[in-house]
Structure 1
Amino acid sequence: MAGRLRAPTGRYGGKSAAQRQAERRRRFLDAALQLFGDTPGYRATTVAALSEAAGLSTRQFYEEFRTLEDVLAALHLQVNDWAEQAVLAAAADAGDLPLAERAAAIFRAYAADVTCDPRRVRITFVEIIGVSPRLEEQRLARRARWVDLIRAEAEAAAERGEAARRDYRLAATAFIGGVNGLLHDYSAGWVDATLDEVVDELVRQLLAVLRPPGREAG
């Protein structure tokens, strides 16, 4: 989102204005991942502290963002984008694998990406909650994208005869809620299990949702 001040134009130091702006934005987001995702957290961070951590000035901050909420919004989207890219890559690599193997590959990729950095977990599941109606709308919109991804996988499995033919909207929504809750608790150390065990449990739950009644696991 554009800031209140206009950034300088033209080339400087061999970089274009667009390149310098992208670099500044990356540095602010990197600093925000550290401060929002660790200590002191989003609510205790100031523009001055974030700018100092990024090695930039507050003027440069306002050339890129209006508020710290804008930074949190951008960071939340970035963390979700990283996870989505990992999932889509895993889904492409899984190709025509049987449902159980494909589901395991997809969720292992998601879990590995989300939990590879505790700061990402905090941004996704903690810091974004209760900030403002705008960010709540963004959080729910991103969750809806994950629901749509599960629905698409379910419908594709139904086309292959590996899943029941039905509307998976409610099931996918409930499943994504379980995924988020379990991964949050795992990352917080509240679950006495390995990441592989967590993924295996999620895959079992998904297969239980997808398979037609009476169908045995393949």
Structure 2
Amino acid sequence: MAGRIKAPTGRYGGKSAEERQAERRRRFLDAALQLFGDSPGYRATTVAALSEAAGLSTRQFYEEFRSLEDVLAALHLQVNDWAEEAALAGLGDMNGQPIAERATAAFRAYAANVTGDPRRLRITFVEIIGVSPRLERQRLARRSRWIDFICAEAAAAVQRGEAAPRDYRVAAAAFIGSVNGLLHDWSSGWVEASLDEVVDELVQLLLGILRPAGWSPADT
């Protein structure tokens, strides 16, 4: 009996074209996390070196990205997404709890995620700085997203009578700047404290913003 010719499926090695592309992209980002976040850093990495570290060719690199800046942009977003997911998971475990417990859980989860891998910390606070106007806009957009996160928690705390009612956007921006600066300095060894002590200090700072001197729940 004559054999039948199967219709092409677009699969190779058991994977679809989309799956292979996703795997290539992941390998480039994994290699970038190592080279950008450790040594030699973003500015000293070449397309050839990144491709070699990923075990892929430069031709495959240009099939996925236009430039190394595109890789850094994608990696910066990924690292921030991981940190945001960790903070949200920390909050999810504290449903119905007072703001102090919620803030502690969220920032402990965030800090553990960001500092657990020094390469992520470097991507977030060092390598992204001063690269280009485009990446500066992206960095500030992600910072704005964290400000929105703080403002949403503050608004919910106000509704529960746990915080003074006011516009928190400027205060939230100042607080996020403090978070970034303190975690960067702590990771650099400039601040002698445990991570729990750093988180506790940040929580106390946030609570001081939400509950200014002279305010009491009865004022809400």
For the residues of structure 2 that align with 1:216 and 1:160, how far apart are their CA atoms? Answer: 13
Map of 1:45 onto structure 2 = 45
Kindly indicate whether residue 27 of structure 2 is the aligned counterpart of residue 19 of structure 1: no
Q: Secondary structure at the match of 2:22?
A: helix
Deviation at 1:161, TM superposition (A): 0.2
Please give the alpha-carbon distance, in whole angstroms, between the structure 1 residues aligned to 2:190 and 2:205: 20
* 1:71 and 2:71 aligned: yes
Q: Distance in 1 between matches of 2:210 and 2:196?
A: 21
Cα distance between partner residues in 1 of 2:188 and 2:77? 22
Answer yes or no: is 1:151 the counterpart of 2:132: no
Deviating beyond 3 angstroms after TM superposition, the runs of 4 or more aligned structure 1 residues are none
Report % sequence identity.
Answer: 79
For structure 1, the 5+ residue unaligned runs are: 1-8
1:107, 1:177 → 2: CA distance?
A: 14
Distance between the aligned counterparts of 1:187 and 1:82, measured in 2?
18
Show the counterpart of 2:4: none
Q: Match for residue 28 of structure 1?
A: 28
CA distance in 2, matches of 1:50, 1:177: 32
Tell me what 1:124 maps to: 124
Aligned to 2:171: 171
Let me know the Cα RMSD of the aligned residues.
1.3
Matched, 1:85 2:85: yes
Aligned partner letter, 1:196: D
Larger-gyration structure (1/2): 2
Q: Return the letter of the residue paired with 1:179.
A: V
Partners of 1:26 and 1:146 in 2: CA distance:
25
- Which residue of the partner structure matches residue 161 of structure 2? 161
Contact kept, 8 Å, 2:90 with 2:105, in 1: the verdict is: yes
* Corresponding residue pairs, total: 209
1:87-102 alignment, distance < 5 Å: 87-102=87-102
CA deviations on 1:20-65 (whole Å, 9 max, x unpaired) are 0000000000000000000000000000000000000000000100
- Native 8 Å contact 2:164 2:215 kept in 1: no
TM-score relative to the length of structure 2: 0.93
Which amino acid in the other structure matches residue 10 of structure 1? G
Instruction: For 2:198 and 2:80, locate their aligned partners in 1 and report how far apart those are by CA, in whole Å.
Output: 20
**Cα distance, 1:93 vs structure 2:** 1.1
- Give 1:160's aligned amino acid: R
2-structure distance, mates of 1:29, 1:49: 13
Q: Secondary structure at the match of 1:39?
A: coil
3-state DSSP of counterpart to 2:93: helix
Deviations for 1:181-205, whole angstroms, at most 9, x for unmatched residues?
A: 0000111111100000000000000
- Structure 2, unaligned stretches of length 5 or more? 1-8
